[in-house]
Structure 1
Amino acid sequence: MNWHKISIHTSVDNEEVFTEFLTEISNGISVDYSMDIMKSGVEDFDNKFRLNPDDYPDSDIRLTVYYDESVSVDEKISQIESFVRETTNLSDKEDVKITQTVVQETDWENEWKKYFHSFRVSDTFVIVPSWELDDHEIKLDDRLIKLDPGMAFGTGDHPTTSMCLKYIEKIVKPEHKIIDVGTGSGILTIGAHLMGARDLTATDIDELSLKVAKENLELNDIDGVDVHSADLLKNETSKYDIVIANILAHVIEMMITDAYDCINTGGYFISSGIIVEKRDDILAQLKETGFTVLEILEDNGWVSILAKKEA
């Protein structure tokens, strides 16, 4: 099968508005930042990330969505062009550039190899793609996440994912029952497993993401995880010690109440994928629902929140 790849090069100021729109017309997006943006605020960047500048936009950001052959790519491009014309709050609208290419399914693995390399995401979590396992030098205390991202979101290099992993490293204990909502590549479930948790559930509405998550769990020699399709927490009846949701701000808003209802007293809610402009709205809703906010992390315009259900 071939995949249609649609890329949008635009100002970083347009990331939120494009992200929300593209999420509505696709099953997921990827965002590539220019090297200058990625290097800002990151110490020792070149030693932490072995990246080829040619694989990233020269400036600003590139948002990418993929569609299989059953989807009319011309119709999708028309939708995007109409969105650009009709949206009044886009910055530098005249500089928005839309391109479309075809990616062979057999080339997808090599496509990811160009962009994704091993790196340390926290004190102990290290993410290593399967094709670099033989070359990676493992330290004694490292918790190694082996990953083949495929077409699912979640590689650890995006701030929203790395901040979640830092919370997981901090709070997860072996006795915790955990659900990872919108699991994507399964990376956060793998992180929780490496912290000793064994009662794990991973859900996603996208079947391709579930397939990738299962493959990554197997790659990390993890079994016993309940991986299944679900629409957020709408039909969830179980109780959990930790709910993790690395999605988008407007989706987080829809599930805060359900998350509170699903969490045991004394349990935690890790929410991420929140742009900084939405931080105060999310914080207010969390507190209004009954959560106590314990910690807020910010990285490159993104926010991750650790909240607790006290009673």
Structure 2
Amino acid sequence: MQNNNYIEYTFTVNPLQPATDILIAQLGEVGFESFVETEVGALAYIKKEDWSEDMLSSIQILSNPKFDIDYEVVEIEQENWNATWEQNFNPIQVGDACVVRAPFHEKPEVTYDIVIEPKMSFGTGHHETTYMMMQHILNHDFTGKSVLDMGSGTGVLAILAAMKGAAPVEAIDIDNWCYLNAMENVERNHHPEIKVYEGDATLLEGKKYDIIIANINRNILLDDIPTYAKCLNKNGVLFLSGFYTEDMSTISERCSRFNLEYESNIENNNWVAVKYRILP
């Protein structure tokens, strides 16, 4: 019988930044799939079946003398996730028009009220990359545009795009828990027209979109940029995030090789979210 339990790491980080962001990025590269930033550091989660006792040995920041990072490890049942995130999840306001909140939070007076239960999924708006991608969406015209949210996590970016008038909208994530959670959140926000799929870029064969949103780590983006370019309609737009400011030149060089031109970017705590457009 498959063990659906998770391993929870509680990290205490001093000083908090940029160490916490670097730690989360490095943990993500070795397989940790979900994070909750706290006042003293971060919580990190990985499925027990994917975990090994020595997997932190490659996390370089843990041996960096500039930072003091301690951690504790416990095993938790998947069903106990709600109690964990409920203690740490606060509403996120993006500009004047958008709030991301949990069902138990008071309903705000905003244009775009997004209600999610993130469970084990990434993408609550708390992390800089999700927040910046939401800023891009709020600043761009999505009316009548076909949209793909790649690496959709909770589905929050797909939901915001749909709220802004995008149609059709598709969301894809390789993780089964993210896939199930995104479907729940799509239903919770009354956007059943959003189609959610479990998988990776191989699902994109033969598909076309006006806008592609991809908030994934640097290496996956570098691999998948050719596919994104192929899937964009004429004058299509690609929003990318999940990497650091110093990686932007590498990402942009890769994009330019596939006819994608840089237009603009947003930066926050050394993270960056970039807008590209396919050339005619």
Same structural fold, with TM-score higher than 0.5 when normalized by the shorter chain: yes
Q: Give % identity.
A: 24
1:131 to 104, 109, 112: 104
Q: Deviations over 1:11-66 (max 9, x none)?
A: 6455676545533442513152xxxxxxxxxxxxxxxxxxxxxx521xxx435123
Q: How does 1:18-57 map to 2 (within 5 A)?
A: 18-19=23-24, 21-26=26-31, 28-30=33-35, 32=37, 55-57=38-40
Distance 1:286 1:143 in 2: 31
- Report what 2:144 is aligned to: 175
- Report what 1:83 is aligned to: 58
Distance 1:154 1:18 in 2: 17
Distance 1:247 1:72 in 2: 19
Q: Deviations over 1:153-210 (max 9, x none)?
A: 0001211011111111222423211111100000000000100112011101100000
1:245 to 214, 219, 223: 214
Matched position secondary structure for 2:53: helix
Structure with more helix by fraction: 1
1:67 to 44, 47, 56: 47
Code of the aligned partner of 1:213: A
Code of the aligned partner of 1:56: E
Distance 1:129 1:79 in 2: 32
Deviation, 1:130, is 0.7
Distance 1:150 1:194 in 2: 22
- Report what 1:105 is aligned to: 78
Residue-pair matches, total = 275
1:5 equivalent to 2:8? Answer yes
Q: Which runs of 5+ in 2 are unaligned?
A: none
Name the Cα RMSD after superposition.
2.5
Code of the aligned partner of 1:64: A
Deviation, 1:9, is 4.2
Q: How does 1:1-311 map to 2 (within 5 A)?
A: 2-10=5-13, 12-13=17-18, 18-19=23-24, 21-26=26-31, 28-30=33-35, 32=37, 55-57=38-40, 61-62=41-42, 64-68=44-48, 71=49, 73=51, 76-80=52-56, 82-84=57-59, 87=60, 90-92=63-65, 95-132=68-105, 135-139=106-110, 142-233=111-202, 235-311=204-280
Code of the aligned partner of 2:168: D
Deviation, 1:3, is 2.7
Distance change in 2, residues 1:255/1:297 (3 Å): same
Q: Deviations over 1:123-157 (max 9, x none)?
A: 3111121111xx23314xx2111111111000012
User: What is the TM-score normalised by the length of structure 2?
Assistant: 0.88
Query: Which has the higher mean CA deviation after the structures are superposed, 92-101 or 200-209?
Result: 92-101
- Does the 8 Å contact 1:30/1:153 carry over to 2? yes
Distance 2:36 2:220 in 1: 18
Code of the aligned partner of 1:29: S
Deviation, 1:285, is 2.0
- Does the 8 Å contact 1:16/1:275 carry over to 2? no
Q: Which runs of 5+ in 1 are unaligned?
A: 33-54
Distance 1:88 1:27 in 2: 15
